[in-house]
Amino acid sequence: MSVEVRIDRRPEGELDVWRDRARALLVEGVAPDDVVWIDGDAPRDLFAGARDALPCRPVRAPRVPRAFVELAERVACHRDPSRWDRLYRVLFRVAQGERALLEDALDHDVAALRVMRDHVARDEHHAQAYVRFRPIADASTRVETWIAWHRPDHRVLPLVAPFFAARFSDVAWRLETPDACVSFAPGAGLSWSKGAPRDVGIAEDAGDETWRTYWRATFDPARTNLSAMAREMPKKHWATLPETRAMRATIAEAPRRLAEMEARAGVLPRLEVAPGDVDVLREAARTCTACPLHGPATQVVFGEGPRDARIVLIGEQPGDEEDRAGRPFVGPAGAVLDEALREAGVDRASVYVTNAVKHFRFEPRGKVRLHQTPRARDVAACRPWVEAELAALEPEWIVCLGATAAKALLGATFRVTQERGVVRATAWAPRTFATWHPSAVLRAASEEDARAMRSELVRDLAMITE
pLDDT tens, position by position, 57-87: 444 566 888 999 999 999 999 999 999 999 9
The pLDDT value recorded for residue 451 is 94
The pLDDT value recorded for residue 277 is 78
Whether residues 286 and 187 fall in one domain: no
Q: Which amino acid is at 129?
A: A
Whether residues 250 and 319 fall in one domain: no
**Domain end residue (candidates: 208, 231, 266):** 266
**Is 273 domain-assigned?**
no
* Pair type for strands 48-50 and 144-149: unpaired
**Is 40 domain-assigned?**
yes
Q: Tell me how far apart the alpha carbons of residues 269 and 290 are, in angstroms, rounded to a whole number.
A: 11
Which range of residues forms the domain containing residue 174?
Answer: 131-194
Counting the structural domains of the chain, the total is 4
Q: How much is the average pLDDT of 114-139?
A: 90
Q: How much is the average pLDDT of 430-442?
A: 96
Whether residues 21 and 98 fall in one domain: yes
Q: Tell me how far apart the alpha carbons of residues 429 and 302 are, in angstroms, rounded to a whole number.
A: 20
Q: Tell me how far apart the alpha carbons of residues 309 and 364 are, in angstroms, rounded to a whole number.
A: 36
Q: Which residue has the higher pLDDT, 240 or 420?
A: 420
The pLDDT value recorded for residue 231 is 76
**Is 295 domain-assigned?**
yes
Whether residues 237 and 373 fall in one domain: no
Q: CB burial class (10 A; 0-12, 13-18, 19+) of residue 59?
A: middle
The pLDDT value recorded for residue 49 is 52
DSSP conformation letters of 253-309 = THHHHHHHHHHHH--SPPPP--TTTHHHHHHHHTT--SSGGGTTSSS----BS-TT-
Q: How much is the average pLDDT of 169-175?
A: 93
Whether residues 258 and 304 fall in one domain: no
Q: How confident is the model at residue 254 (pLDDT cuts 50, 70, 90)?
A: confident
CATH classification of the domain holding 441: 3.40.470.10
pLDDT at 303 over 90: yes
Whether residues 90 and 150 fall in one domain: no
Whether residues 79 and 141 fall in one domain: no
Whether residues 111 and 235 fall in one domain: no
Whether residues 406 and 310 fall in one domain: yes
The pLDDT value recorded for residue 241 is 77
Q: What b/e string do you get for 394-423 counting C-beta neighbours within 10 Å, with b at 16 or more?
A: ebebbbbbbbbbbbbbbeeebebeeebeee
Q: Phi and psi dihedrals of 63, rounded to 5?
A: -70, 145
**Is 396 domain-assigned?**
yes
**Domain end residue (candidates: 202, 233, 266):** 266
**Domain end residue (candidates: 77, 98, 126):** 126
Whether residues 319 and 450 fall in one domain: yes
The pLDDT value recorded for residue 357 is 96
pLDDT at 170 over 50: yes
Q: Which residues are CB-contacts of 316 (< 8 A; sequence separation ≥ 6)?
A: 355, 356, 357, 373, 374, 401, 402, 403, 404, 405, 437, 439
Q: DSSP E strands: which ranges in 101-218?
A: 134-137, 144-149, 173-176, 180-185, 189-194
**Is 213 domain-assigned?**
no
Whether residues 117 and 185 fall in one domain: no
**Is 201 domain-assigned?**
no
Whether residues 114 and 141 fall in one domain: no
What does the mean pLDDT of the chain come to? Answer: 86
The pLDDT value recorded for residue 44 is 59
Residue 151, H or E segment: none
**Is 204 domain-assigned?**
no
**Is 174 domain-assigned?**
yes
